[in-house]
Structures are given as C-alpha cells and as structure tokens.
Amino acid sequence: MSPSPGATRAAIEAVWRIESPRLIGGLARLVRDVALAEDLAHEALVTALERWPAEGVPANPGAWLMATARNRGLDQLRRRRLVDERHRELGLAAAGAPDAPDLEAAIDEDVGDDLLRLVLVACHPVLAAEARVALTLRLLGGLTTAEIARAFLVPEATVAQRIVRAKRTLTEARVPFEVPKGADLPARLSSVLEVIYLVFNEGYAATAGDDWMRPALCEDALRLGRILAGLVPGEAEVHGLVALMELHASRTRARVGPGGEPVLLADQDRARWDQLLVRRGSPRSRAPRRSPVRSGRTRSRPRSRRATRAPGAPARPTGRASSRSTTRSWR
Amino acid sequence: MRVMVVVKASKESEAGEMPSEQILADMGKFNEELVRAGVMLAGEGLHPSSKGKRVRFSGRQRTVIDGPFAETKELIAGFWLWQVRSMDEALEWLKRAPFDGGTEIELRPVFEAEDFGKEFTPELRAQEERLRAEIERQHPQHQ
C-alpha cells in the first residue's frame, strides 16, 4: 500500500527539517555562497515535492536531495566558468567571481564544519539582529518562513523580506563561508549565542501576543543550542548557555497558573518543574569550570545578574523555592 | 514537542543476549546523529523482564509479581525521549534507526503543559485553587 499524498507531503516536510541544514551547509561549501546554496536546496525540495508523491520517498532522502541540488550547483558553476572563460577570451576581467573550487574533493569534507560555518554566517555581525534570528531559524532550525512568522507574530511577508535582504547583504559583503581562525572565533560564536538566547527569551518572556510564554520557541532555541554544543564541544560558553536555557525551561509548566496568569518563582509548585531538564542543566552548568579556559565576551554572561534576570526571571533569583542545583547555577 | 520512542522486547532481549558489535556500532552512530541534531533528550536500555518486578493493586492489597513476564511483544526493552517539532519528524528519524528482523518501535507523544488546557478537570482546578490560597497565606506580598 502506498502512502497518501498528504502523508508523503508531511514526510517530505519532515525530511526537509532534518536534512536542510546539512544540505545547505554542504552546498554553501561547494558554491561558496549561502544564498545560492539555499536556492539550490529549495530547487531540490521542489523537485522532491513533484516526484516523491508518485515515486515514493527514496530510501536515503538526504542523499537524494543532496545529489539533485549538487547537480544543479555543478551546472551553475560550469556555466559560470564558461562565462568567465568567454570573458577572458574577450579580454574582460572575470567579473569578480571566485574560482570554482575542487568540486568532488569539497563534497567529502566534514559535515560538522559545514554546519558551524553555516551558523556563523547566519549570525554574522554584518546582519541586523532580526535578520540573524530569521536566517538562523531558517537555515539551522529548518523552519519555514511561515513558521518563523507565526512564532514571532509578524506577517509572513516581513520575515520573507528579512531573509531576502539578509542573503543579499551576505552576498554583497562577500562574507566568506569559513570558520574564522584565532581570536575572531569567540567573538563570532558570541554572536551566535546572542541569537539563540534572543530566540529563547522571546519564547520564555514573549514581547508580542497574548501568551506570555511561547514554549515552541524555547524548544527551537534549545535545539539550536544543543546543535551548537555538538559542533564546538570545547566551548564552555555554549554549554553554559544550554544549561541556563534548560534550567529556565524546566520551570515552564510551573510558571503559568490555571487561568494563564504568571506564577512567580517562589510560588511555583516545584513538583511541576521538569526534572529531566533540571538534571540536564545542572552538570552542564558546572562544566565550564572544568573546561579549558577560553576568554570570550559571553563566558561570564550566564552567571551575570543581567542575563539571569533577562528571560522573565523573577526579581529574587535565589528565592526560597529554588532548589540547590538551580541556585548554584544562578550564582 | 516531546516523543517517547518505545523499543519493544524481543526473544533475544528477553534472553539477555547482548547485541552484536555491529548493531552496537550502528546504534551508536544513530544516537550520535540524534544528539548532533539536538533531538535526543534521554535514552536507556532495560534489562530483561526476568530482573523486573510488578506490583498489582487491588483495593488496599499490593501483590508483588516477579519477572520474567510472558507476553514478550508487549514488554519494553528500552526507550528514547526525543525533542522534535512534529510526529512526522519523529517518524522520519525513527525510519533511520538501524533496526531489523520485524522489530516494532512505538512512538508516543508526551503530554506537554498546553495539552492540559482543556482536560484540566474541575478536581484539578480545585486542587490548584487550594494551592494558590495556601500560597497567598504564605506570600501575601505577591497577590
């Protein structure tokens, strides 16, 4: 029995959410342009939407999407090379186009590096904060423009425009698709942490809409944080941020009363705290002290007063009701 | 949303047979992928039911039953807790798991805070209100 068209479509969307970051990262390394990489990936998605309902979802959908997108990318690069050659023959300067890289060799490099490059580009300081958030959720979180718009309660067209402009800015600024070396890396990572924290905060203490929490955004931020922690496991600050978010998120259930009204920390029913998140958050929050010291702007941030208060935390963060582990992380 | 992935027991798991090195390696790789994608929250494998116990409740009586338990297919051998955006995403992840040989794995969404909105019974609401009244006595400054 073949699945219904609706089921196939849902499967394609799920595949997209899982595969798109790797797909776009791999393609961006190939074509050295995140905007073009995303276009290529989307073209592959459109092809999948056309063909999979009839042919079925392939056994390895990620590889299928990659092969489809890569072939289009190679076509484009070849065309660009051809144009460059013509230009040279005509005595014109190659119009600033970078040399096409060694294509096949480029494809087999480490996927983790691609994702790291991708998130660093999406959070590049050349972009405005809103654009970084939208681009990160789209490129790394696999969210659609509509999902991002719903999450932030803004019109879809606004988000679409933010993303288009952001991609244009990246192309115009010729932001390289690479992991910066040396002292630049901590600074760039701190920009990524800010974006993740911004997403979390909007979920934890929403600035728009009637609900004062939007847990889905917290979950997205947590996932992004965990992905980043996997990409740069040696960066203490990333673990610190993930722990901070997990401890805050552990109280989500207890923060709202039956009528939707906020419940302050001291009044919260601790039995409703999510113990899994408390546990996950606790050892991690100690990890930075054990990890090799690395000077970075945000290293002390999760422990600073400003940061702990920011995500809607009550005025008395070390109140009676906080457990030992929570108080510890708040110091 | 969170999804619990329930791995059912098999004759082998109930016999306490350890998986082959190959299966362990494949499973390790799959787990690593889950962690890298920020999907995996927790996951554990369980000893066979011969090491388990059951308690049956009837009125005030509690009867302890020692394992093993007979209905192998209904027993569980392990679980994961995943953070995903949808059941479809969980399904897509599960399809990538290195299982074989007729194994059946079950996906069950975990109740989240928002799920309790409509199902919040009058009893629970009353309990909540008692709790709030108690809180008010303890911390009058917040009200």
User: What average pLDDT does range B41-66 have in this prediction?
Assistant: 94
Instruction: Look up residue B63 and give its two tokens.
Output: 């009867």
pLDDT at site B136: 67
pLDDT at site A92: 54
Residue among B35, B41, B88 minimizing CB distance to A230: B35
In this structure, the answer to whether residues B131 and B78 fall within a common structural domain is no
CA dihedral A47, A53, A55, A57 (to 10 degrees): 80
In 3D space, the residue among A263, A245, A243, A246 whose CA is nearest the CA of residue A255 turns out to be A263
Could you give the residue ranges of the DSSP H alpha helices within chain B?
11-14, 21-36, 87-95, 116-119, 122-138
Domain boundaries, chain A: 180-331
Q: Which residue of B has its CA nearest to A226?
A: B38
What's the domain range around B23? 2-110
Is pLDDT at A281 greater than 70 in this prediction?
A: yes
Partnered with residue B107 across adjacent β-strands are: B5
Question: Does residue A82 belong to the interface with chain B, where contact is any CB pair within 8 Å?
Answer: no
In this structure, the answer to whether residues B44 and B6 fall within a common structural domain is yes
Q: Phi first, then psi: give them for residue A260, nearest 5 degrees.
A: 85, 5
Is pLDDT at B47 greater than 50 in this prediction?
A: yes
In this structure, the answer to whether residues B70 and B81 fall within a common structural domain is yes
In this structure, the answer to whether residues B68 and B134 fall within a common structural domain is no
The interface residues of chain A toward chain B in range 262-301, judged by CB-CB distance below 8 A, are 264, 266-267, 269, 276, 280
User: What average pLDDT does range B73-86 have in this prediction?
Assistant: 91
Residue B76's pLDDT band (cuts 50, 70, 90) = very high
In this structure, the answer to whether residues B13 and B70 fall within a common structural domain is yes
In this structure, the answer to whether residues B35 and B90 fall within a common structural domain is yes
A chain contacts of residue B131, beta-carbon cutoff 8 Å: 269
| Number of domains chain B contains | 2
Determine the residue among A8, A12, A17 to mutate to test chain B binding: the one whose Cβ has the most chain B Cβ atoms within 10 Å.
Answer: A17
